[in-house]
Amino acid sequence: MTRRPLIGGNWKMHLLRADAEAFCRHVQEHGAHPAAECVLFPSAPLLATVARGLAGSDFACGGQDIHPDDKGAHTGDVSGPQLVDAGCSWALCGHSERRQDHRESDQLIGEKALAAERNGLKPMICIGETADERKSGATFEVLDRQLNAALAGRPEPFALAYEPIWAIGTGETATPEIAQKAHARIRDTLADLIGSEAASSKRILYGGSVNPDNAAELIAQPDLDGFLVGGASLDPERFLAIVRCCG
């Protein structure tokens, strides 16, 4: 089955409004009709700016996080209705930095994915193992556990992003063989959860020090359907170079 590549750009806690506006102008001028589906994930204060700046383009906007509740006394959090109101169509759920820095549990990630679905947002669910878990041989166990929890409520539609934590922001990238092995395992687990036909249509992205130099070799792997890009997504030309690798 042919799956259209999906490329996400996670800006994390970077860029200011002028930077975001300049990025969107570059996309409008140089990124028309990409072969891959593209979505940018700016920090919350930049969501409306980016959504406006991308209007009319083939790029979408998404939130870096979503609260399980649609409203309430949750200082500092962002709800699904607020993301939609800002112009989002996607929401990241379970990024490793949220799991680590904010102690987010597997169960909470599943609740966030359902909150996204409830509000018409597509959850991009992140899973991945730490360096210690990999060294101990627990990679598949961790991926299975995280995936089962994230999909317990059966959100639909969704995309997955495999992020080996040991490769995020370290400059160390999983080899194409390592990435493919993990992606194949994820698709097998998906088949057990939602059926083989549905699993074959789901896009599984790789995230972890992706750049224009390694993207082409990675995207050539049969179960790798795109990227969740971190640092390289802050430069529009580098980001578009990765997108072009998927064409």
Of 68, 60, 79, give the one whose Cα is nearest residue 150. 68
Q: What does the block give as tokens for 221?
A: 């792997």
Distance CA 242, CA 7 (A): 8
Amino acid identity of 21? E
Distance CA 62, CA 80 (A): 11
Residue-wise burial string across 78-102, b where 16 or more C-beta atoms lie within 10 A, e elsewhere: bbbebbbebbbebbbbbbbbbbeee
Q: What does the block give as tokens for 173?
A: 């990238």
Which residues does the annotation mark as catalytic?
95, 163
